[in-house]
Amino acid sequence: MDKILVSACLLGARVRYDGGHNLLDHPVIARWKREGRLIWACPEVLGGLPTPRPPAEVQSRFPILVTSNTGQDFTPQFLAGAELFADIARQHDCCCALMKANSPSCGNRTIYDGSFTGRAINAPGVAAHELIRGGTPVFNEHELDQLIEFIQARSEADTAHRLAPADSYHATRLVAKCPAP
């Protein structure tokens, strides 16, 4: 069964910078959780940052620089968290990830621009970038329909793959039963 790595806050873990969560209350998420399909973690907590913590934004991507709103350099924690997050994806052989949009760690398409004014730019967060760089597809909570389709397509392909040898075995037996011409 395909595993999905999820931003912990989307499953209700209180790991946000302000001590809150971003629970994504959806029946498919609840079913995937019951099935044991979901693996979850928070890159910023993995990287050693406490909860609550000051809000942080990416100031520069090349070279990478992440600071809090008071100028504290959080780059080492963000980088360490991104690496550990990607390690978890590899350990559990996750086929994809569901990550929180706009987060400086988890955003897959946009993040805030570093000015702490709520302006977004097109760029991935540090942990999402690490996964994308390694070839793991990353979806955000607004792309849940696409993620559901992606998982469905993979499981249909897997079923077809598993049935194929059985079908050819069955076909071989049918051929063997045919009288010789």
In whole angstroms, what is the distance from residue 130 CA to residue 141 CA? 19
- Asked if 40 and 13 count as a contact pair (C-beta separation under 8 A), the reply is yes
The contacts of residue 118 (CB under 8 Å, 6+ apart) are 112
In whole angstroms, what is the distance from residue 117 CA to residue 96 CA? 31
Question: Is there binding between residue 47 and ligand SF4 (CB under 6 A)?
Answer: no
Question: Judged by CB under 6 A, which stretch of 7-15, 63-71, 145-153, 162-170 contacts ligand SF4?
Answer: 7-15
Question: Judged by CB under 6 A, which stretch of 8-16, 28-36, 159-167, 171-179 contacts ligand SF4?
Answer: 8-16
| Interface of this chain with ligand SF4, residues 63 to 122, rule: CB under 6 A | 100, 103, 105-106
When the beta carbons of 29 and 42 are compared against ligand SF4, the nearer one is: 42
When the beta carbons of 42 and 151 are compared against ligand SF4, the nearer one is: 42
Question: Judged by CB under 6 A, which stretch of 36-44, 89-97, 110-118, 131-139 contacts ligand SF4?
Answer: 36-44
Alpha-carbon distance values, 72 to 77, 79, 167 (Å): 11, 15, 61
